[in-house]
């Protein structure tokens, strides 16, 4: 012990104390805490002489600088975030046993919004889906909702994801992005027609949100809610912006700052104009899901389709508010790690294959992007009302290494366990079948929702802007064949879209997809069944 009673092993530097200290409260030091007189000084042999290797201060400074960058997120690299709270306004305890759905529960949250394809310095006003991720620090562990601002996605076969994303990245040879060359993008989507629902949204008026405050958030995926009786229902989550929705046209977007969304979110919170969202659920009984498939050919595990809201109305359960900016963007937003597999008791994944693959992908990338002990970082660490323990030990930067407690399941120093709250057999136990290598098939029903958008949702102005956006984007596509195929896909949505695009591009598309073979999917609408 030191003379004043401090012990080796005590932590003298507290995260929150450090985060909240002003510069005036601090003393300039090297990384080992030794005060140093001036940050610009270097030790050298005379005024014009070489530097000295003994100058720890300089080496400390520069070698840390050399290591400042961590890998940016492979997708959703450009983003903004903030902290706030969740409040349960309308309990869901009839359907779900999760603590956060009980009357009056609140918990702290952190959120991160993002664009998808661009690099970390890319433009906030890109035509791209937006990420909508929330970390709920519940009393039963962290729950991460890793959603988008659109209810559907480009694909339903998970192995397509890296291929699709690569088409959003720079070309391997030219190193040009989609802004200069859209060939890869249209090549991919014209070979994978199930993407057309998302393309209709992306190229329509909802393609460029005006900042992050004015957009909704959707799980897209189907999950499961389990109640205290062990009964379960399918669920989709929706976040409805209390600010309403606002979007930019293509022309407006080009006049905005590259950091438009960051500026908008940061200063709204700074000025006390706290953004909020209503959290709602859509639920469906297993029997209803079977009927939905039989009668309407909507598969709840298919993320390219939505659940009709007339049949499955939204039910509000709570609200979230963002009322605190990050003090340190890197520590609190760049290092935050959202994982769809983080679910508290009462929430279970469905068999949606894209969701299932995401349950693996996120913690895997976090170990690469941030390190094996990323869960120990303050922004990621659970804040539960019990002392949690497990048998994970060591690795780089192990900070909370669980003291002297046994690193194996010990009978000498036993650990406490809680009883299982969810009966896995009851919730997931109905799968059986032979192993198959599966690739999805295009069906006529894939075009119903996109057609509905065109015929019932888009007004005349929206239709014109859609054609302009698509044909403008296609003007950077180097292969006519690709455009002919994509026009054929749009023809399945509506003859009107195809004809307008033919006029705008000057390219005659194929008559429909019945004669086409796709490299990414089976063509269930082909005349020739070998296609
Ligand atoms: C970020 C993979 C589909 C929403 C990421 C990241 C990866 C990834 C590796 C980077 C995470 C990080 O570095 O922290 C995948 C895979 C998918 C998929 C493999 C499909 C097979 C989706 C879907 C959604 C989505 C369908 C929305 C419904 C997000 C969001 C982020 C993200 C919001 C950013 C999270 C943040 O702000 O840190 N994804 N993704 N992803 N993904 Fe996905």
- pLDDT confidence bin for 335, thresholds 50/70/90: very high
Q: How far is CA 142 from the centre of its chain?
A: 16
Show the beta-strand stretches assigned E in 202-272: 217-218, 223-226, 232-241
If you compute the radius of gyration of the chain from its CA atoms, what whole number of angstroms results? 26
Atom of ligand 1 nearest to the CA of 357: 21
pLDDT per residue as tens digits for the range 221-273? 999 999 999 999 999 999 999 999 999 999 999 999 999 999 999 999 999 99
Q: What is the 3-state secondary structure (H, E, C) of 102-128?
A: CCCCEEEEEEEEEECCCCCCCCCCCCC
For residue 218 the two structure tokens come to 């959707």
Determine whether the shortest distance from the Cβ of 84 to ligand 1 is under 6 A: no
Task: Specify the residue with its C-alpha closest to ligand 1, atom 12.
Answer: 73
pLDDT beyond 60 at 299 = yes
Determine how many CB atoms are found less than 10 A away from the CB of residue 327: 12
Distance 223 CA to ligand 1 centre (A): 16
- 339 Cβ below 6 A of ligand 1: no
pLDDT, tens digit (0-9, with 9 covering 90-100), for 184-233: 999 999 999 999 999 999 999 999 999 999 999 999 999 999 999 999 99
Please choose, from the candidates 505, 502, 497, the residue with its C-alpha nearest in 3D space to the C-alpha of residue 200: 497
Ligand 1: centre distance to CA 409 (Å): 34
Q: Would the CB of 129 count as within 6 Å of ligand 1? A: no
pLDDT at 1 over 60: no
Spacing, Cα 146 to ligand 1 middle (Å): 7
Burial of 347 (0-12, 13-18, 19+ CB in 10 A): buried
For the chain, how far is it from start to end, CA to CA, in angstroms?
A: 78
| Nearest by Cα to 269 from 341, 343, 324 | 324
**Residue in the structure block whose two tokens are 């000084």:** 41
Q: Mind listing the pLDDT tens digit for each residue in 456-489?
A: 999 999 999 999 999 999 999 999 999 999 999 9
Q: 161: Cβ below 6 Å to ligand 1?
A: yes
Q: Is the ipTM of this complex over 0.90?
A: yes
Give catalytic residues, as residue numbers. Answer: 76, 148
Residue 393 φ/ψ, nearest 5 degrees: -140, 155
Contact, 525 vs 443, CB < 8 A?
A: yes
Residue 278 C-alpha to ligand 1 middle, in angstroms?
22
Known binding residue 362? Answer is yes
Report the 3 state secondary structure along 395-431: CCCCCCCCCCCCCCCCCCCCCCCCCCCCCHHHHHCCC
Rounded to the nearest whole angstrom, what is the distance from the C-alpha of residue 114 to the centroid of ligand 1?
A: 10
Residue indicated by tokens 């469906």: 284
Tell me the mean pLDDT in the region 139-151: 98
Ligand 1 lined by 75 (C-beta under 6 Å): yes
Ligand 1 atom 39, closest CA: 75
pLDDT at 26 exceeding the cut of 70: yes
Listed residue (278, 219, 272) closest to 244, CA to CA? 278
Which pLDDT value is given to residue 6? 67
Q: Which residue, by CA, sits nearest to atom 14 of ligand 1?
A: 337
Q: Which atom of ligand 1 is nearest to the CA of 112?
A: 37
Residue 527 in this model has a pLDDT that exceeds 90: no
| CB 87 within 8 Å of CB 328 | no
- Ligand 1 neighbour 258 (Cβ under 6 A): no
pLDDT at residue 5 tops 80: no
How far, in Å, is the centroid of ligand 1 from the Cα of 75? Answer: 7
DSSP 177: -
- How many whole angstroms separate alpha carbon 216 and alpha carbon 221? 15
H helix and E strand count, the chain: 15, 12
Our answer on whether the CB atom of 135 is closer than 6 Å to any ligand 1 atom is no
Q: Which residues pair with 324 in a beta bridge?
A: 83
Residue written as tokens 């399941």?
409
Is residue 150 within 8 Å of residue 231, measured between CB atoms?
A: no
Short-list 203, 209, 248, CA closest to 467:
203
Nearest residue (CA) to ligand 1, atom 25: 147
Ligand 1 neighbourhood includes 262 CB (under 6 angstroms): no
Residue nearest to atom 32 of ligand 1 (CA): 76
- Average pLDDT in the chain: 96
Q: Cα-flanking dihedrals φ and ψ of residue 456, to 5°?
A: -110, -20
Contacts of 142 (CB under 8 A, 6+ apart): 135, 136, 342, 344, 380, 382
Q: Find the helix packing angle between 183-191 and 460-474, rounded to 10°.
A: 120
Closest CA to 325 of 23, 13, 14, 19: 19
Q: What is the mean pLDDT of residues 346-373?
A: 98
pLDDT confidence bin for 92, thresholds 50/70/90: very high
């Amino acid at each position: 012990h030191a003379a004043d009673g401090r012990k080796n092993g005590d932590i003298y530097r507290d995260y929150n104390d450090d985060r909240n200290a002003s510069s005036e409260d601090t003393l300039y030091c090297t990384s080992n805490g030794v005060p140093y007189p001036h940050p610009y000084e270097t030790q050298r042999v005379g005024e014009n002489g070489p530097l000295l290797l003994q100058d720890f201060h300089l080496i400390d400074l520069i070698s840390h600088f050399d290591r400042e960058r961590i890998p940016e997120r492979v997708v959703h690299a450009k983003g903004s975030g903030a902290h706030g709270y969740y409040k349960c306004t309308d309990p869901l305890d009839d359907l779900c046993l999760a603590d956060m759905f009980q009357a009056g529960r609140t918990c702290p949250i952190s959120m991160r919004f993002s664009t998808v394809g661009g690099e970390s310095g890319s433009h906030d006003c890109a035509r791209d889906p937006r990420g909508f991720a929330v970390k709920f620090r519940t009393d039963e562990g962290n729950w991460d909702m890793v959603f988008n601002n659109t209810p559907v996605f480009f694909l339903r076969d998970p192995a397509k994801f890296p291929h699709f994303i690569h088409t959003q990245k720079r070309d391997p040879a030219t190193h040009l992005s989609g802004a200069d060359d859209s060939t890869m993008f249209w090549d991919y989507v014209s070979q994978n027609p199930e993407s057309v629902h998302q393309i209709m949204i992306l190229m329509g008026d909802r393609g460029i949100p005006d900042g992050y405050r004015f957009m909704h958030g959707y799980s897209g995926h189907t999950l499961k809610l389990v109640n205290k009786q062990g009964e379960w229902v399918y669920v989709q989550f929706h976040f409805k912006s209390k600010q309403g929705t606002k979007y930019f046209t293509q022309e407006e977007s080009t006049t905005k700052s590259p950091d438009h969304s960051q500026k908008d979110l940061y200063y709204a919170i700074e000025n006390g104009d706290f953004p909020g969202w209503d959290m709602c659920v859509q639920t469906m009984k297993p029997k209803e899901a079977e009927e939905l498939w039989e009668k309407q050919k909507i598969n709840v595990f298919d993320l390219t389709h939505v659940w009709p809201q007339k049949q499955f109305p939204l039910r509000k359960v709570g609200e979230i508010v963002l009322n605190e900016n990050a003090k340190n963007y890197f520590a609190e937003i760049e290092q935050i790690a959202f994982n769809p597999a983080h679910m508290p008791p009462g929430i279970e994944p469905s068999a949606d294959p894209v969701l299932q693959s995401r349950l693996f992908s996120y913690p895997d990338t976090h170990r690469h992007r941030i390190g094996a002990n990323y869960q120990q970082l303050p922004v990621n660490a659970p804040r539960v009302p019990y002392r949690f323990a497990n048998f994970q030990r060591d690795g780089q930067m192990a900070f909370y290494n669980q003291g002297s407690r046994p690193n194996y399941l010990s009978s000498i120093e036993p650990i406490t366990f809680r009883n299982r709250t969810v009966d896995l057999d009851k919730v997931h136990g109905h799968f059986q079948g032979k192993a198959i290598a599966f690739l999805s098939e295009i069906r006529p029903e894939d075009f119903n929702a996109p057609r509905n958008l065109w015929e019932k949702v888009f007004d005349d102005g929206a239709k014109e802007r859609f054609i302009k956006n698509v044909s403008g984007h296609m003007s950077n596509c180097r292969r006519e064949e690709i455009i002919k195929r994509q026009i054929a896909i749009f023809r399945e949505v509506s003859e009107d879209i195809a004809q307008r695009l033919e006029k705008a591009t000057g390219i005659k598309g194929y008559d429909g997809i019945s004669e086409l073979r796709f490299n990414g999917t089976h063509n269930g609408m082909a005349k020739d069944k070998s296609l």
